[in-house]
């Protein structure tokens, strides 16, 4: 009997590289009960809080963020990889294990003073989330929290985001990854 979100997440060994334990949330998304549970638990800490927009990080954050925004009756803003958004954007680079990546958001997606919740499936090193926070703040928005399905605490993402002064909410964690 499945009782919590972690029970719905499949682990695939050696993907995308040898030695990686990939935490696959597509099995969570495919199950109506599991998906509903995850969305409800992601937004629960923010019930009653003023949230003007939900910001989803590419790509699984779009699925979760869209559902959370719907439940909160608010707008949704995607933060995408460089070159994926039409129109005027602002960009933010961040470090990967080997190199650099860039994410972007439309330059009119958020208004100064708007309160936003950042949503994604997985918190690892925190680089993508930190870049997303920076983009939101550059547009004048206030990040009220960061919500993830999975936290991989050994990779330091939570420490990074909390060190930047942001609240982190994760539904489950996998240690040793």
Catalogue the active-site residues. Answer: 60, 97
Q: Who's near 9: CB < 8 A, 6+ residues apart?
A: 23, 24, 25, 27, 28, 149, 150, 172
Tokens 């009756």 label which residue? 73
- What are the angstrom distances between the C-alpha of 165 and each of 18, 43, 101? 34, 20, 23
What are the respective helix, strand and coil percentages of the chain, to the nearest 5? Answer: 35, 35, 30
């Amino acid at each position: 009997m499945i009782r919590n979100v972690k029970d719905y997440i499949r682990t695939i060994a050696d993907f995308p590289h040898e030695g990686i334990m990939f935490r696959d949330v597509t099995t969570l998304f495919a199950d109506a009960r599991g998906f509903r549970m995850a969305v409800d638990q992601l937004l629960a800490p923010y019930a009653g809080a003023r949230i003007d927009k939900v910001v989803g990080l590419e790509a699984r954050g779009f699925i979760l963020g869209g559902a959370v925004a719907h439940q909160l009756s608010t707008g949704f803003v995607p933060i995408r990889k460089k070159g994926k958004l039409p129109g005027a954007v602002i960009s933010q680079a961040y470090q990967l294990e080997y190199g650099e990546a860039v994410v972007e958001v439309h330059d009119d997606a958020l208004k100064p003073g708007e309160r936003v919740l950042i949503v994604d499936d997985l918190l690892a090193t925190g680089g993508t989330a930190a870049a997303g926070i920076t983009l939101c703040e550059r547009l004048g928005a206030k990040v009220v929290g960061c919500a993830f399905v999975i936290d991989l605490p050994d990779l330091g993402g939570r420490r990074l985001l909390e060190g930047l002064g942001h609240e982190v909410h994760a539904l489950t964690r996998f240690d040793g990854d």
